[in-house]
Structure 1
């Protein structure tokens, strides 16, 4: 799966990039016909709590899935987005 990660107005650590790739690539097993994923990392207001935002878009042949989460760490937000997309994938498979 091709995973495109975009950090808006900051440089992300390699450790964070590896974490995101590890978590998002697990979605490849659930949707074998996916075309890739786009992950956007943003910091809302640096001085406030829960200021990290992760947007995760899974590009699938015929439709796209999207999740956005805000929290106190990019790792937690990424995991929450992956969990949300897993639920969307399950729902989409049941609807077919």
Structure 2
């Protein structure tokens, strides 16, 4: 699966990109028809500590799953997003199985 990463208003280092690709790439275990993934990283200019916005979009045939999280670090945002997407992918796969059965 191809993972596209875009960082807005800053430059993401290679370590962060590798972390993202490893975490998001692991989602393939939960759905076999993932086309690709897009990850958007933004830093919001606020005085709050939780100013990192992580948005992950997974493209599957006929659908796209999007999770947006605001956290203290991008790693935390990616981890939470991936957990949420695992559940969504499992639900999506169940729905497609149910559609095939009926």
TM exceeding 0.5: yes
Where 2:6 maps in the other structure, the secondary structure is strand
In the alignment, the residues of structure 1 paired with residue 51 and residue 77 of structure 2 have an alpha-carbon distance, to the nearest angstrom, of: 10
Q: Which residue in the other structure is 1:56 paired with?
A: 56
Runs of 4+ displaced beyond 3 Å: none
Within-5 A mapping of 1:8-47? 8-45=8-45, 47=47
Structure 2: gaps spanning 5 or more residues: none
Aligned length in residues: 96
Range 61-70 or range 45-54, more displaced: 45-54
Q: Looking at CA atoms only, which structure, 1 or 2, has the larger radius of gyration?
A: 2
Structure 1: gaps spanning 5 or more residues: none
TM-score, normalisation: structure 1: 0.93
In the alignment, the residues of structure 1 paired with residue 32 and residue 11 of structure 2 have an alpha-carbon distance, to the nearest angstrom, of: 31
Q: Which residue in the other structure is 1:76 paired with?
A: 76
